[in-house]
């Protein structure tokens, strides 16, 4: 008898010839995430199995695996040799402390095992009921399911609990992206959404130290730690100072354009970093209509500064409430709502332009040494590596 964790994957199943690539990618990610926990990951028909671990680490292992994009669900199971009496004995043991309603589901890949699945489920149900008066059968809406998986290799897996994974596609299967990570609610969610689609992330954060505080920076690092759990390994954050650039626009340009000018500089720096690091896309938490800088006109004028890198805005059509729900699920909400200044809130005009015109913005940029200021900010980028938990 040994303890194992069964890992099911969802959407990968839809893949035809490429399926092996996605499976290998997910298996690698799971193996890496479990390094140090002394266990092995195997592929068995259409799923993975983790075994060899210390049973006291089981819940920790489950918590790690359900955060790997591509995982549909996870069940801790007990594996025994296929033997009717042994199965009955173990099922009694596993259910003796339970209360509530249940059903038994048998899956018999080994057709030499008798009786058939329906009959065996019925027999086991009878045994369970007799052994524990606190249980009742409910085949429609049971509180838990006793699953008996009789495999062809003469092994049987028995499990009663299933934990849902994040779904999506394994990280590393859909390119590499640079997440523009602020301290707000939206950008961590945008990063999670893209990691869930299979994109391996690095992050770029702009600060205006000393106008923005050291605490604001720590907040961003903490947010990055949460995202790192979904990123199949560490997450690098590039910290870029915008202080001098912001002082210059504030001094020289019409202040209704402050935000547009700042955002164009951010995107220009992001594109340069993508090219240097071999990243294929810029990812933002922008959301149509949410604030002045997120009208279609603003997004167009800002996006126009990027020449040949794709910009992904996974939250563009979300409602704020939907974004908040995801941020709570990934545990970033409470961190995001801490009230520190972001560089976008330093030097904000009372009435920022909501429908900027490109030619006017370019006129404003001519009042600055735009490229020199960008070079200067770029040269001061520092990198911090955030470990996953």
Residues near ligand ATP (CB under 6 A) are: 180-182, 184-187, 204-206, 284-286, 290-291, 293-294, 342-344
User: Which residue number, 41 or 237, has a Cβ lying nearer to ligand ATP?
Assistant: 237
Residue 290 interacting entry, from Mg ion, ligand ATP, none, C-beta within 5 to 8 Å by type: ligand ATP
User: Which residue number, 27 or 264, has a Cβ lying nearer to ligand ATP?
Assistant: 264
**Minimum Å distance from CB 74 to ligand ATP?**
30
Q: Are 249 and 261 a contacting pair, CB within 8 Å?
A: yes
Q: Are 49 and 42 a contacting pair, CB within 8 Å?
A: yes
**Minimum Å distance from CB 282 to ligand ATP?**
9
**Minimum Å distance from CB 33 to ligand ATP?**
26
Q: Are 287 and 294 a contacting pair, CB within 8 Å?
A: yes
**Minimum Å distance from CB 125 to Mg ion?**
55
DSSP-assigned letters across all residues of 67-98: TSTTEEEEEEEEEEES-HHHHHHHHHHHHTT-
Residue 293 interacting entry, from ligand ATP, Mg ion, none, C-beta within 5 to 8 Å by type: ligand ATP
Q: Are 175 and 80 a contacting pair, CB within 8 Å?
A: no
User: Which residue number, 182 or 246, has a Cβ lying nearer to Mg ion?
Assistant: 182
Residue 286 interacting entry, from Mg ion, ligand ATP, none, C-beta within 5 to 8 Å by type: ligand ATP
**Residue ranges in contact with Mg ion by CB under 5 A:** 182, 184
Between CA 105 and CA 76 the distance in angstroms is: 16
User: Which residue number, 71 or 377, has a Cβ lying nearer to ligand ATP?
Assistant: 377
Residue 274 interacting entry, from ligand ATP, Mg ion, none, C-beta within 5 to 8 Å by type: none
β partners of residue 135:
100
User: Which residue number, 121 or 182, has a Cβ lying nearer to ligand ATP?
Assistant: 182
| Residue 83 main-chain phi, psi, to 5 deg | -160, 125
Q: What radius of gyration do the chain's Cα atoms show?
A: 26
**Minimum Å distance from CB 29 to ligand ATP?**
25
User: Which residue number, 128 or 344, has a Cβ lying nearer to ligand ATP?
Assistant: 344
Between CA 303 and CA 252 the distance in angstroms is: 23
DSSP-assigned letters across all residues of 220-278: HHHHHHHHHTTTTS-EEEEEEE-HHHHHHHHHHS-GGGHHHHHHHHHHHHHHHHHHHHT
The residue nearest Mg ion at its CB is: 184
Residue 222 interacting entry, from ligand ATP, Mg ion, none, C-beta within 5 to 8 Å by type: none
The residue nearest ligand ATP at its CB is: 184
User: Which residue number, 144 or 340, has a Cβ lying nearer to ligand ATP?
Assistant: 340
Q: Are 346 and 246 a contacting pair, CB within 8 Å?
A: yes
β partners of residue 163:
74
């Amino acid at each position: 008898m040994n303890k194992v964790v069964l890992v099911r994957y969802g959407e990968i199943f839809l893949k035809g010839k490429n399926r092996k690539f996605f499976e290998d990618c997910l298996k690698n990610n799971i193996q890496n995430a479990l390094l140090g926990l002394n266990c092995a990951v195997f592929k068995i028909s259409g799923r993975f199995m983790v075994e060899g671990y210390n049973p006291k680490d089981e819940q920790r292992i489950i918590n790690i695996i359900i955060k790997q994009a591509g995982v549909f669900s996870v069940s801790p199971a007990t594996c025994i040799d296929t033997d009717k009496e042994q199965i009955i004995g173990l099922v009694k043991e596993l259910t003796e402390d339970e209360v509530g309603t249940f059903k038994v589901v048998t899956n018999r890949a080994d057709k030499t095992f008798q009786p058939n699945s329906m009959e065996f489920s019925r027999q086991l149900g009878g045994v369970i009921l007799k052994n524990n008066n606190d249980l009742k059968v409910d085949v429609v809406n049971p509180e838990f399911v006793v699953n008996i998986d009789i495999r062809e290799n003469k092994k049987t897996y028995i499990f009663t609990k299933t934990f849902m994974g994040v779904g999506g596609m394994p990280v590393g299967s859909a390119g590499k992206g640079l997440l523009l990570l602020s301290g707000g609610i939206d950008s961590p969610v945008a990063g999670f959404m893209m990691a869930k689609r299979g994109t391996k992330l690095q992050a770029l954060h702009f600060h205006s130290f000393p106008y923005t505080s050291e605490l604001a920076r720590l907040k961003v690092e903490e947010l990055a730690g949460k995202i790192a759990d979904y990123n199949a390994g560490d997450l690098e954050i590039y910290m870029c100072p915008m202080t001098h650039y912001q002082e210059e626009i504030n001094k020289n340009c019409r202040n209704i354009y402050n935000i547009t000018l700042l955002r164009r500089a951010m995107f220009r720096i992001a594109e340069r970093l993508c090219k240097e690091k071999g990243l294929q896309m810029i990812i933002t938490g922008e959301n149509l209509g949410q604030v002045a800088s997120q009208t279609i006109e603003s997004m167009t004028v800002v996006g126009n500064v990027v020449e040949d890198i794709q910009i992904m805005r996974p939250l563009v059509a979300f409602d704020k409430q939907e974004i908040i729900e995801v941020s709570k699920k990934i545990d970033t909400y409470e961190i995001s709502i801490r009230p520190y200044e972001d560089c976008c809130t330093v030097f904000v005009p009372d009435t920022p332009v909501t429908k900027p015109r490109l030619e006017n913005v370019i006129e404003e940029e001519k009042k600055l040494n735009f490229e020199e200021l960008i070079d200067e900010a770029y040269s001061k980028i520092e990198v911090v590596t955030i470990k996953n938990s």
